[in-house]
């Protein structure tokens, strides 16, 4: 199902990505799926599954960061947090809404969508549509034969070690990411994939990590090629319609009837993001049925050694070291550039979803209170 609204507000999204929006215009981007681009619905299914609310309030706790001490009120107010949900052992300990939104508001995930997209690669492997993460990408996307993607595997694509040259600097009007944004605004089907095929190689596949929304767009194309289904439809079929979500999701498209923008542009409510995080915490099992391969979540949320250095990035999930720098809890997050986060701690069984409208992209300015410092302090308070 496609919604082809007017694109008159296209420059608003450019200003938001550049960090040049006033708060009221900036926030509209996060709550209006159809404002900038055509969208496709990710259908929910009945019945809605209730969440469990505990009687124990979240304790006040200190957040140590950068030589100072903060609290949760600093984290919410200084970081322009609009929604915050904390779950421990399947029990919600905090659910808070701010900046005028409520439980029915669908909020833009930005790059959290990357983690949804790679999760669907796992589902496609479990279903037999993709043989393994070691398969060459060109097995499914033969148009990439002879391009910089020739020799890239499904795994190196998901790790963002394709070696294809890319800059994801949102504030640089000449970066590849901003060129991709202009193609999104133009809404021409296939334009982004043609652009990706033209990118030169910067490094051998698997040897260099480079954050790339372009690589994630290729993930979406891979899922479509392997399954024969749009990303949104496959997401609904395998996961969204089976988790008791309260609302349909919505996903930005490159063009009406085109591919989803797999690296960004997914909208859902705070509670439904938490339900998805719960699915990941359960190792990709729904009602006793395995949707993701056994061990997929652990692998997707694990750090890598690339070029002799540890890279805290998995299959488009960010790794969160503990306060002591160790990786004992196996914690990881989905992250979006303006403070959209979905934190999952398997060992302590803690989930935290954060929806924000920070003024600048994360690559340009640090948050007032660091997210990882908040998550580590939170885990210490509830475990």
Domain boundaries defined on the chain: 2-382
Give the pLDDT score at 2. Answer: 44
Give the pLDDT score at 363. Answer: 57
Residues 152, 18: Cα–Cα separation, whole Å = 31
Rounded to whole angstroms, what are the CA distances from 72 to 338, 364, 378?
Answer: 18, 23, 9
Give the pLDDT score at 5. Answer: 42
CATH code of 2-382, in short, is 3.40.710.10
Give the pLDDT score at 303. Answer: 96
Considering only the C-alpha atoms of the chain, give the largest distance between any 2 of them, rounded to a whole number of Å. 60
Query: pTM score, two decimals?
Result: 0.95
What backbone phi and psi angles, to 5 degrees, belong to 191?
-65, -40
Rounded to whole angstroms, what are the CA distances from 135 to 79, 148, 151, 162, 280?
Answer: 41, 16, 10, 13, 24
Residues 285, 179: Cα–Cα separation, whole Å = 38
Q: Rounded to the nearest 10 degrees, how much is the dihedral formed by the CA atoms of 202, 204, 208, 214?
A: 60
Residues 181, 169: Cα–Cα separation, whole Å = 11
Give the pLDDT score at 8. Answer: 45
Kindly report, residue by residue over 263-306, the tens digit of the pLDDT.
999 999 999 999 999 999 999 999 999 999 999 999 999 999 99
DSSP SS3 for 262: coil
Give the pLDDT score at 318. Answer: 98
Give the pLDDT score at 332. Answer: 98
What backbone phi and psi angles, to 5 degrees, belong to 2?
-120, 140
Residues of the chain with pLDDT under 70: 1-9, 363-365
Kindly report, residue by residue over 1-29, the tens digit of the pLDDT.
444 444 446 788 888 888 888 998 899 99
Q: Which residue has 């509209």 as its token pair?
A: 28
């Amino acid at each position: 199902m496609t919604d082809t609204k007017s694109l008159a507000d296209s420059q608003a999204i450019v200003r938001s990505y550049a960090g040049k929006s006033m708060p009221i215009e900036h926030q509209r981007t996060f709550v209006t799926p159809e404002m900038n681009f055509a969208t496709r619905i990710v259908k929910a299914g009945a019945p809605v599954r209730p969440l469990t609310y505990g009687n124990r309030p979240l304790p006040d706790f200190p957040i140590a960061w950068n030589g100072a001490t903060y609290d949760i009120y600093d984290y919410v107010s200084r970081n322009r947090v609009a929604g915050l949900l904390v779950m421990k052992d399947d029990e919600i300990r905090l659910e808070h809404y701010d900046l005028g939104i409520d439980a029915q508001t669908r909020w833009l995930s930005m790059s959290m969508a990357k983690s949804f997209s790679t999760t669907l690669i796992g589902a496609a492997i479990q279903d037999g549509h993709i043989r393994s993460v070691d398969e060459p990408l060109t097995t499914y996307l033969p148009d990439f034969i002879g391009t910089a993607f020739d020799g890239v595997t499904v795994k190196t694509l998901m790790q963002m070690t394709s070696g294809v040259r890319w800059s994801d600097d949102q504030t640089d009007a000449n970066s590849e990411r901003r060129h991709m944004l202009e193609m999104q605004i133009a809404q021409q089907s296939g334009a982004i994939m043609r652009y990706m095929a033209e990118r030169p190689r910067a490094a051998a596949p698997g040897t260099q990590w480079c954050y790339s929304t372009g690589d994630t767009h290729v993930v979406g194309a891979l899922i479509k090629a392997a399954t024969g289904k749009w990303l949104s439809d496959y997401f609904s079929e395998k996961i969204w319609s089976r988790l008791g979500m309260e609302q349909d999701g919505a996903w930005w498209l490159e063009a009406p009837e085109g591919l989803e923008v797999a690296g960004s542009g997914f909208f859902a409510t705070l509670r439904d993001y938490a339900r998805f995080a719960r699915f990941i915490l359960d190792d990709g099992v729904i009602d006793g049925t395995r949707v993701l391969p056994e061990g997929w979540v652990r692998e997707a949320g694990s750090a890598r050694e690339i070029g002799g250095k540890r890279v805290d990035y998995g299959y488009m999930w960010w790794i969160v070291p503990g306060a002591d720098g160790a990786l004992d809890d196996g914690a990881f997050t989905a992250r979006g550039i303006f403070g959209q986060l979905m934190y999952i701690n398997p060992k302590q069984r803690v989930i935290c979803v954060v929806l924000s409208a920070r003024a600048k992209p994360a690559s340009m300015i640090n948050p007032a209170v660091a997210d990882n410092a908040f998550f580590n302090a939170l885990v210490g308070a509830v475990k």
